[in-house]
């Protein structure tokens, strides 16, 4: 049903972002949002689909095939045993490991949104992703050093994959350098948010 009502978490799943990102987009008026009499956010599936489609079409992101190749490269890196060799990963139970493996998707979509909007929503997106990584690490009893290591693992995997795909596609060096700079700028902000959030979570224990 095209006019099916969705909860905030359902909308987040469709858009491939963290629920806190959808909440921020809603508060800023970026995403079409409705509220129930009780004050709960609701979204129409048709509006969310149209918004996602128009955002994708208006973006300056590379062709979809290139982006899919980036995702495949990241998955290969994760599946090739690199994660298992990480000391922080070895401290986690299976549920926590699954959550961390899924986190690469949120990071990828956050980066693509940053590129597509020209950084217009960078602050809210980077804060939301930093909060996500910090709260997950805190929840699974990783210290702030391991929390940072976990994030840097996925960030570096993503950056390496983008550079590899761009190189194979013979993307001009200037365009590659520009993307590289954008990735570092955005992910540096996520790391700062992660550390600040972890500090606050510890203080509130």
At 138 the pLDDT is 93
Q: What is the CA radius of gyration of the chain?
A: 18
Q: In CATH, what class is 61-203?
A: mainly alpha
At 125 the pLDDT is 84
Of 21-35, 59-73, 102-116, 191-205, the range with the highest mean pLDDT is 191-205
Write out the residue limits of the CATH 1.10.490 domain(s) in the chain.
Answer: 61-203
Report the alpha-carbon distance of residue 10 to residue 166 in Å, rounded: 33
At 120 the pLDDT is 65
At 61 the pLDDT is 42
Question: What are 151-173's pLDDT values in tens digits?
Answer: 999 998 888 888 877 777 776 77
CATH number for the domain running over 5-56: 1.10.1660.10
Give the tokens for residue 25.
Answer: 């987009």
Question: What are 37-79's pLDDT values in tens digits?
Answer: 888 889 988 888 887 776 554 444 444 566 677 777 777 777 7
What Cα–Cα distance (Å) separates residue 106 from each residue in 13, 17, 112, 169, 174?
10, 5, 10, 24, 27
Write out the residue limits of the CATH 1.10.1660.10 domain(s) in the chain.
Answer: 5-56
At 62 the pLDDT is 46
Q: What's phi and psi for 6, nearest 5 deg? A: -120, 145
């Amino acid at each position: 049903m095209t006019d099916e009502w969705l909860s905030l978490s359902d909308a987040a799943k469709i858009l491939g972002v963290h629920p806190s990102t959808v909440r921020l987009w809603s508060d800023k008026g970026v995403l079409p949002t409705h509220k129930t009499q009780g004050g709960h956010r609701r979204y129409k599936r048709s509006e969310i689909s149209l918004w996602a489609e128009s955002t994708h079409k208006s973006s300056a992101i590379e062709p979809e095939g290139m982006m899919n190749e980036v995702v495949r490269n990241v998955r290969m890196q994760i599946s090739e045993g690199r994660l298992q060799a990480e000391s922080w990963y070895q401290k986690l139970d299976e549920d926590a490991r699954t959550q961390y493996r899924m986190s690469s998707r949120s990071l990828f979509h956050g980066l693509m949104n940053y590129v597509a909007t020209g950084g217009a929503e960078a602050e809210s997106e980077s804060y939301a992703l930093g909060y996500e990584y910090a709260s997950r690490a805190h929840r699974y009893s990783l210290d702030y050093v391991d929390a940072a290591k976990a994030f840097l693992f996925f960030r570096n995997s993503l950056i390496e994959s983008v550079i590899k795909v761009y190189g194979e596609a013979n993307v001009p060096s200037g365009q590659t350098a520009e993307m590289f700079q954008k990735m570092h700028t955005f992910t540096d902000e996520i790391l700062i948010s992660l550390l600040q959030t972890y500090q606050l979570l510890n203080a509130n224990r």
